[in-house]
Amino acid sequence: MNCSKFDDSIENRKVKKLADTVRHELLKYVEAQTDQVSDDIKTDLLVDCCLAHFELTPHQVCIPGAMLLTLSNMLRKNISKLSINDQDLVQEICSVRLKEWTTDEIKAAEEEDALYVMTLNTRFLLKEMQMTVCPTTMCPVPPRMSSLQLPPGQRFGPLVQPFVSDDTRFLVFEKVFTEISTDLQSTNFVGLQKELENELGKVAKPGSMNQNYTLAHRITAALQVLAECQSSDTKETELLDSLRHSLQARQMHRASLEQLAAGLRAVELAKQHHEEELQRAIKTMDDANKFSLTLDLPAPLRKVAEDHGTKLRLEAVSALIARRDEFARSDKGGLAHSLVVTYPLKRLVSKKVVVECGWLEKKDVSLMFSLKDGGVEITVLLRRSSTDSIVQKISLSEERLRVLRKADEGDIVELPSPEDRLLSFTTSKLVELLSDAAAGR
């Protein structure tokens, strides 16, 4: 309620006086309404972030083009206030990659009335492999998008904030009041001092059944704080208010931890459901793969075809597959469950798929790639007098290919092994070559 903009007219003076009167009562009312309300946003964000990693459905947002341009200008104008680190991604996009949009361009975007669909990267941990809760935004994000930088080798920052009391002056009284056996009756510091001294005499007395040196030490510390309060004219209400706020803060922190525990149970259920979905998907893919190798139709489908006197085309194909032991696309007129492609070595060297081939470089050599069962067999063929002879066969399993797909740009793989190297491939180009071959490109 800001009254500083009112002039000094009689009518405005009345409004200012009314505002000054109401402000205090209104703030007290708002505080009372929110006193027991816990802030669940941080916990919800963390739990939702974890749950999103077990969802296979993409999360998309549709934004009008004009709104995007307006948002870009707004971020660009206030980027100095929004930047959270030296390599802030938003700052790079808005200040470097994008320009400031003119009013005419924004109006043109409104007339175009186009919607832009953005797919959110909610499963960023699968690639980033790091996460922390940004102290500025309170959102779980990769460290590169946070104002908190993790030490080298650390994958996760503090995800759950510990309880921290805002006022630590009277914390010693919390433990003392809960541990002493006497119900305190005093209403001022003088009476409280006498009661604590009496309690100290009980727990510090040697040989007493109530002897407790730990509690005696705490009572002594409480008496020292009490003496400081009396010497500094601290009011009794100040002590009580501090203890009350501290207890309320602890209660709210406990509520957030209970909410987090419930969220973790939900994450565990989502993890189990995700595992079940993956198993179903794997079974579906496995069944489809087995069917593609034999094209053997299900018995109910064959029976329905027989009852209606219909000849299914796949039956003849399935019979043809059954008569063959092995098929490859290099066998003209046949069907394939393995894919064979052959490239001259010189061509692969020119495209930098092969970066080192030793003595083979000056020979007439071809590489035959046979893709089968998720892996690949590389056969090195040397041509002499119109005849191909096998120099070596190199096998890469499906698991090995999966590792190669995760390699960084520019990585080199030596085959068949670094110790017995025959060929050196650019890993990313080799994987791309195999992907193109499998897709028939």
pLDDT confidence tier of residue 277, bands split at 50, 70 and 90: very high
Reported as a single tens digit per residue, the pLDDT across 349-405 is 999 999 999 889 888 999 999 888 778 999 999 988 878 888 999 999 888 888 888
96-137, pLDDT tens digit by residue?
888 899 999 999 999 998 999 999 999 999 888 899 998 888
Spatial contact of 142 and 123, defined as CB atoms under 8 Å apart? no
The percent of residues above 70 in pLDDT, for the chain, comes to 92
pLDDT tier at 269 (50, 70, 90 boundaries)?
A: very high
Q: How confident is the model at residue 441 (pLDDT cuts 50, 70, 90)?
A: low
pLDDT exceeds cutoff 50 at 331: no
Helices (H) and strands (E) in the chain, counts: 16, 11
In what order do the strands lie in the sheet containing 365-372?
339-344, 365-372, 375-384, 387-396
Q: Are strands 412-415 and 387-396 parallel, antiparallel or unpaired?
A: unpaired
Q: Choose the weakest-confidence range: 91-95, 209-213, 263-267.
A: 209-213
Structure confidence at residue 36 (pLDDT): 64
Query: Mean pLDDT, the chain, as a whole number?
Result: 84
Q: What is the pLDDT of residue 368?
A: 92
Judged by average pLDDT, the poorest of 21-25, 52-56, 297-301 is 21-25
Percent residues over pLDDT 90 in the chain:
29
Residue 143 per-residue DSSP state: G
Cβ within 8 Å of residue 396, ≥6 positions away: 375, 376, 377, 378, 404, 415
**Whole-prediction pTM:** 0.56
Assign residue 374 a region: left if phi > 0, alpha if psi is -120 to 50, beta otherwise? left
pLDDT tens digits for 29-81? 877 777 666 678 888 999 999 999 999 888 999 999 999 999 999 998 888 88
Return the amino acid letter for 300.
P
Q: Answer yes or no: is pLDDT of 338 > 60.
A: yes
For 60, list phi and psi in degrees, rounded to 5: -125, 150
Rounded to whole angstroms, how far apart are CA atoms 400 and 364?
28
pLDDT of residue 37: 67
Q: Which two tokens stand for residue 262?
A: 């419930």
Tokens found for residue 47: 């739990």
Instruction: Give the pLDDT score at 266.
Output: 94
Per-residue pLDDT band for 9 (boundaries 50, 70, 90) equals low
Predicted pLDDT of residue 104: 94
